Structure 1
Amino acid sequence: MSSSATIAIPADSTAAENKGKPANVAPAPAVPPAAAKKVTTKGGWKKGIAVFDFLLRLLAVAAALAATTTMGTTDQTLPFFTQFFQFRASYDDLPALTFFVIANAIVSGYLVLSLPFSIITIVRPHTVGPRLLLLVFDTVMVALSSAAASSAAAIVYLAHTGNSKANWIAICQQFNDFCQRISGAVVASFVTAIVFMLLVVMSALALRKP
């Protein structure tokens, strides 16, 4: 008669071995290094565009304000005058220059109001709403600033060269300070228009899907 021995393993020892091990928990999927680098790079260049956008807006604010204040304070009176006439040149004598001052004042106000939205795009480079809003209004400001600068440039050209066929004399020979100031204002306005063009292109790039 043979006898067989049965070895019993206590349940407590098995439970002790499995103690602390999570049951039926799937391991977290590892993010490939290439994919993580791609996400970081994409966010980086959009944030770089947003920072450059903010700096360009500061430059445009300075240029637009310089154009507005320079043109708006331009006034020259010649030292000689007659009993009935006083030779004086002012920006508000010409509708084109008056429009220039009003347009650049509007552009300056818009640029100041757009700075908080530009900061939002720096903090959240992937946001679409503020960037799209800036793109729309920047496009409108391109047209306004270009129209103001172009109309004033035509007046400045006539002031410097005149037009013999229309019997318009070149007043810059007498009103030299007046012509220098309005010429500088027109240059500043063209700088503002060019900056707006760059802002529109940058906003379009930032909204482009990768």
Structure 2
Amino acid sequence: MMKSETTTIDVPESSSVAKGKAPLIGEVREHPSGGYKRGLSIFDFLIRVAAIVAALAAAATMGTSDETLPFFTQFFQFQASYDDLPTFQFFVIAMAIVAGYLVLSLPFSVVTIVRPLATAPRLLLLVLDTAVLTLNTAAASAAAAHSWKPNTNWLAICQQFGDFCQKTSGAVVSSFIAVVFFTLLVVISGVALKRH
């Protein structure tokens, strides 16, 4: 009588993800390269560059806003300058800090493009962006509110110093554009940090 031999081969169970099957309901498969998070990081970088332009424009425009009106002689003149008003001095310093921060934040934004799934640089940017957004909003609001104070006689000043008022108004508008950019940056960071 012949004895029959049997051979057993152990085959490990395969997962549905390894075979390329559709994921189960409720199961989320993240693309290894980061997918939409990389796109958000690129958008974040572009908004940072635009915010740098807006913040620098605000600081430079306000910092160079001065106008001199001659009166009778060359020795007796009226002059309006941003450094005559403490609110505008604060504005220039704050917007320069905002622009400096944005420049320093660019390498961290690049890191989020290269490693879109890394949460530490994104969280750091979210916290710092929120703090600098507060400074930017305070500077823009203080400069805007200055013209509405009844004791500043802003309308009378603007009738005499038209160029000065146009420059300061342009700087305030530019600073509020930077506020919008910062708000977008905070939203982008929040969306990128969200886990499915």
TM-score band by shorter chain is 0.7 to 0.9
Normalising by structure 2, report the TM-score: 0.84
Question: Deviation of residue 38 (structure 1)?
Answer: 3.3
The answer to whether 1:189 aligns with 2:186 is: no
Matched, 1:34 2:22: yes
1-side partners of 2:161 and 2:29: how far apart? 61
Is residue 33–residue 116 contact of structure 2 (8 Å, CA) maintained in 1?
A: no
Following superposition, the deviation at residue 156 of structure 1 comes to 3.5
1:182 CA displacement:
0.6
Paired residue secondary structure (2:69)? strand
2:31 aligned with 1:45, yes or no? Answer: no
Query: In structure 2, do the counterparts of structure 1 residues 85 and 79 end up closer, same or farther at CA, with 3 Å as the change threshold?
Result: closer
Q: Find 1:119's aligned residue among 93, 101, 110.
A: 110
When Rg is computed on C-alpha atoms for both structures, the one with the higher figure is 1
Q: Which segments of 5 or more consecutive residues in structure 1 lack a partner in the other structure?
A: 1-5, 8-22
Aligned length: 190
Counterpart secondary structure, 2:35: helix
Give a deviation string over 1:174-197, Cα, whole Å, max 9, x none: 100000001000000001111111
Map of 1:136 onto structure 2: 127
Could you tell me which runs of 5 or more consecutive residues in structure 2 were left unpaired when the two chains were aligned. 3-8
Percent identity over the alignment is 58
Please give the secondary structure, in 1, of the residue aligned with 2:103: helix
Deviations 1:130-156, CA, capped at 9 Å, x for gaps: 001000100011110000001111223
Superposition pairs for residues 156-167 of structure 1, below 5 Å? Answer: 156-157=147-148, 163=150, 166=151
Instruction: Return the alpha-carbon distance in structure 2 between the equivalents of residues 79 and 71 of structure 1.
Output: 22
